[in-house]
Amino acid sequence: DGSRPRAMLAAVYICGFVATLWLPFVCADARSRAPPSASVVEALAREANPKLALLLLFNAVNALICVWEIALWTHRANVQKLHRGYLKKFGNRVLPRPLCLFEDITLAQALSLKHWSIVFAQYASLDPSYVQHTSWSFWIDVGNGFTMLVPTVALSIAVTSWPEVPMIASFTPRSVGIVAIVMNYQMFYGTVMYYCNYCYNRYDVGASATSKVVVFAANLVWIVGPLAWIFYAVRFVHSNSLAIV
């Protein structure tokens, strides 16, 4: 029916968002070292920095999560409403099916914060902290969303010098390193405390092995990623250089 909005798998939109905040930075970094006559593909083949690419990929994914965390706050009532429906239909400690990532959605939905509040409504089936507005998990994630989105993108700009933003370019490598250490330590600490809260409150009891792996893997990314950035940020401070080698 041509009158219906076209729908695509939600995961396709997610990959598109992440790619938009990842590939341009990777390409810009590679082209900065390649001959002027080299094409983007040639520059990537010759000069792409795998270590930097992985760090930038983490930033892109983190920016996506920040947007979802903002949706958690702005549509917190909707998260609770959807969560109650999932509990009735699937029970406690059971991920709803199909997962929101594998549902067809329209472009309008993909651009809607309210739609993406479904992510935490479904995740709350494994950790009810996200529908409890007095919990550590709720507030640390909401706070991360509002405070880390701009610094995350700014860090990608700083280490690739693309696009040229005078305010960011005015920071010395040591200053960038200090900011990177602070912001990534905050994410690392918040994740560790979140997982401690999850385990201490025994939210894993009754969950399937798959669900436990989902929670562990999701949080492991925000332990490894920040620690990797901290490792290189310390180098920025010591060397006063943004080189990632």
- In Å, what is the CA distance from 30 to each residue of 81, 166, 242? 46, 21, 14
Instruction: Please list the pLDDT of the chain residue by residue as tens digits (245 residues).
Output: 556 778 999 999 999 999 999 999 999 999 999 999 999 999 999 999 999 999 999 999 999 999 999 999 999 999 999 999 999 999 999 999 999 999 999 999 999 999 999 999 999 999 999 999 999 999 999 999 999 999 999 999 999 999 999 999 999 999 999 999 999 999 999 999 999 999 999 999 999 999 999 999 999 999 999 999 999 999 999 999 999 98
For the chain, helix (H) and strand (E) counts, in that order, are 12, 2
Name the 3-class secondary structure at 104.
strand
How far is Cα 113 from Cα 201, in angstroms, rounded to an integer? 29
How far is Cα 242 from Cα 5, in angstroms, rounded to an integer? 45
How far is Cα 172 from Cα 221, in angstroms, rounded to an integer? 28
Q: To which residue do tokens 């693309």 refer? A: 162
Amino acid 93 reads: R
How far is Cα 163 from Cα 156, in angstroms, rounded to an integer? 10
How far is Cα 235 from Cα 242, in angstroms, rounded to an integer? 8
Task: Look at residue 58 in the predicted model and tell me its pLDDT.
Answer: 98
Task: Look at residue 5 in the predicted model and tell me its pLDDT.
Answer: 79
